[in-house]
Structures are given as C-alpha cells and as structure tokens.
Structure 1
Amino acid sequence: MWFLSLICYLALMAQVIFITISIAAGLYYLAELVEEYTSYAKKVIWWMNASVTVLYVLLWLLESFPHTLIICGILAQIAHFVILSSFPVVAVASPALILSVILVFVNHYLAFSYFASTYHPFSEVIAYFTLYLWLVPFALFVSLSANDNVLPTIAERTDADVVSNYLSKRSKKYGLLTFFNYAKESLLPIRVKKGF
C-alpha cells in the first residue's frame, strides 16, 4: 500500500512541475503580446477594470456583502484607473501604484475575514477572488514589461538629451519579460544547428 502512495506523491510533483511550466509559458506569451500591442492592452485592461467596477456595484445592489469590502474594492479599481492614465509608463514609486498594492492586501484581508465568518460554496469564493481581486492586478502585473520598450521623454531626466537618456536606460531593463528572457537563456539548453 505504501508503494502506491509514493507513486501518487511522485505523480503530484510531476503535475505541479508541468502546471508551473505551463503558467510560465503563458505569462511569457502574454508579456510578449502586451509589449507588442500596448494600446490594445491598455484598452483591454481599461474594459476589464470598468467591468469589475460594475460587478462591485452589482454585488452591492444584489448581495449582502459588507460595505467596507465593496468600498475598498471600488477604491482599488479607481487606483487602477489612475495607473492606466499613464500606461504603459508605470513608475514603481508612484502613489497610485503604492495605493493599489496596499488596497490589494487590504481587499484580500477583508475577503478572507468575510468568507471565514460566512459560509459560501467554494465555487463562489474562487469566483469572487478571481474576478474581483485577481483579474485587474494580474493584468497590470503582466503589463509592467511594456514599460521597458517605451521611448524616453525629456521629462524623465533633465540633465541629458533624449538620445543619451535612451541609450543610458537601454541597458537597465527590469520587467517581467526581461526576467523570462533571462530564465530562458540561463535555464533552457541552446539548440545548435549543424551545418552539414
């Protein structure tokens, strides 16, 4: 009986590895799409944010969720709209981004507190977390790599001209796509074509 249990644990580990690789490949593909089509990505994220805001209003009207949970969620969506106003340029130290991150944690705390005290089926809980708490922040997280390919402006640095500013920042890329490219280059084997 112990052998079959060991096989189950090994199979579970293999499944977790495959799921992790699939998620990483999907994130890489999404980051590529966002970098290639930043204006479409902004529109898609804007509509997702507007839809989630409408869902919060419908939740307030049709369900008996706590008002603090709904108000905090709507404030988070407003912070996401402010982030989208300068998309794809997102400054990590901007007040809107900091407020958005704080509200994500507060929303999670309020949601965990509510669902711990009130019974809801698991499908409703996961639907709430997916649509209300994770959809827009995840889209904004994936779109952070689009900031790497934005041409610089004079407002970023006043002590140099636009060209030297661009060339000096070109080597310092920090983003999701840069991380995935680094992981691809360092972890995956490189295929060498033989010239026969």
Structure 2
Amino acid sequence: MIIQLLSYAGTVLGFIFLTLSTASGLYYLSELVEEYTEPTRRLLYRAIYTIIGIYVLLLLFDGFPWLLTAFSIFTYVVYLQNMKHFPYISLTNPTLMLSCVLVLINHYLWFKYFNDVDIPPQFRFDPNYVPRRRASFAEVASFFGICVWFIPFALFVSLSAGENVLPTHIERKKNEDGDGAESSRGVRRRAKGLAKIVIDYIREYFYSIGKLFGLKDSKKDEGLLL
C-alpha cells in the first residue's frame, strides 16, 4: 500500500518538475529569439521548406497517402504566411487563427492514420494480402516531433504579440492646470515573446493564488525594502 502511495507522489512530483523544466526552457528560448531575431527567421524559413521536402519524400518512397500529405503541405504553406511579419503578430490575425486550427486537424488526421491497423473487408480472406507495415513508436514519435509539432512550437516560442511592439514614447506636456500629461509617439518598445507573455501571465496567476493563502513574493518584498 505504501509503495503505491509513493508511486502516486512520485508521478505528481515528476509531472510538476517536468512542467517547470518545460516552462523554463520556453522562457530561455524566447530570450534567445528576442536577441537573435533575424537568424531565427532564416532558420524557420529553411525548416518549413525542409519539412515540405520530407513530406514529398515520404509520399514517393514510403507510400504515404497523397491526400493527407497534400493537406499537410498546404498547412505548412499557411505557416509560411505567418513569416511575412515575423516576429510581430496580432492575436486576431486570420492567418494565425487558421494556423492554430490546422495544427489540431493535422495532428488528428495523422494520429488516426497511424492508429488505423484494420484490414479492409475485401482482403480479410485473401491469403495473398500483405498488411500495411505498422510504424514503430520511435518512427511515429519522430514523425510527429519533426513534421507535425516542430514548426507550430517554434512559431509559438518565436512570435511576439503585436500589442507589445506598438510605437510609444512618453513625453510630458503641461496642460492648462499645470499637471503633467503623457502623450505617445515615436519610439518602439522592445518586442516581448508570446511564450514569455503566457508564462508571465501564468506565473502572476499563481502568485495571486499564493497571496490568498498568505504567501509572499520574497523578491518583491526585497525590492520594497531597498
């Protein structure tokens, strides 16, 4: 009984550590992208064209379904449209919204393809029928990691929310009452990665929950003392 409780506790702790490690990695990658925007842009362009080439090779040499392969290539053509304004985006951009929908559809269709191992009815009693080779776990995982998830994941980490790169410049003006009024014009703020925005939002959310239970942010408290 105790060993089962330990296994449950270990599973929960492992999931927590894996989540924190993933969030830290995303944050670090987002920092690198902010610093090296142009090399990231070139890398994503080449990666998209490379994966389209991989789909063509899979169609020609591994007998992948041509209709599903054509749909995936169309999906990557849509991903390519997001690069026109890279790394700046608007979250209401129709191309971005279409890309998010296509990611889910593409994943579902390929998952269904690899999971379909049924023998067609007309070949059930055919002694000469050779069933389709079933891909191994490593092959399926590699395909999904490289050809399905890599570009959407890279775009999510690399893109910067448009609201954070609007032209702004704080300039003080005196109004008739002598009070300072702020007007905006001119200079651009530094772009902030979309992944960082999401992680910062989640972190602030957990901070607010912690405050409800009496926990305090030590860094903020030190800043107030200084």
8 Å contact from structure 1 (residues 108, 133) kept in 2: yes
Structure 2 residue runs without a partner (length 5+): 118-133, 169-182, 208-215
| Larger RCO (alpha carbons 8 Å, 6+ apart) | 1
8 Å contact from structure 1 (residues 35, 146) kept in 2: no
Change (3 A) 1:29 1:148: farther
Change (3 A) 1:27 1:68: same
Question: Which secondary structure state, in structure 1, belongs to the residue aligned with residue 70 of structure 2?
Answer: helix
> What is the Cα deviation at residue 56 of structure 1?
0.9
8 Å contact from structure 1 (residues 31, 145) kept in 2: no
1:190 paired with 2:218, answer: yes
Change (3 A) 1:146 1:174: closer
Larger strand fraction of residues: 2
Query: RMSD between aligned alpha carbons?
Result: 2.9
Q: Please identify, of 19-28 and 90-99, the stretch whose mean Cα deviation from structure 2 is larger.
A: 90-99
Aligned to 1:129: 144
8 Å contact from structure 1 (residues 89, 147) kept in 2: yes
> What is the Cα deviation at residue 65 of structure 1?
1.3
Larger helix fraction of residues: 1
> What is the Cα deviation at residue 174 of structure 1?
8.8
Aligned to 2:195: 176
TM-score, length of structure 1 as denominator length: 0.79
> What is the Cα deviation at residue 164 of structure 1?
2.6
8 Å contact from structure 1 (residues 38, 146) kept in 2: no
> What is the Cα deviation at residue 150 of structure 1?
3.6
Structure 1 residue runs without a partner (length 5+): 154-162
Identity %: 38
Moved beyond 2 Å, runs of 4+: 91-96, 144-153, 163-167, 173-176, 178-193
Q: Is the radius of gyration larger for structure 1 or structure 2? A: 2
Q: How many residues align?
A: 181
1:164 paired with 2:184, answer: yes
1:107 paired with 2:106, answer: yes
Q: Please identify, of 10-19 and 90-99, the stretch whose mean Cα deviation from structure 2 is larger.
A: 90-99
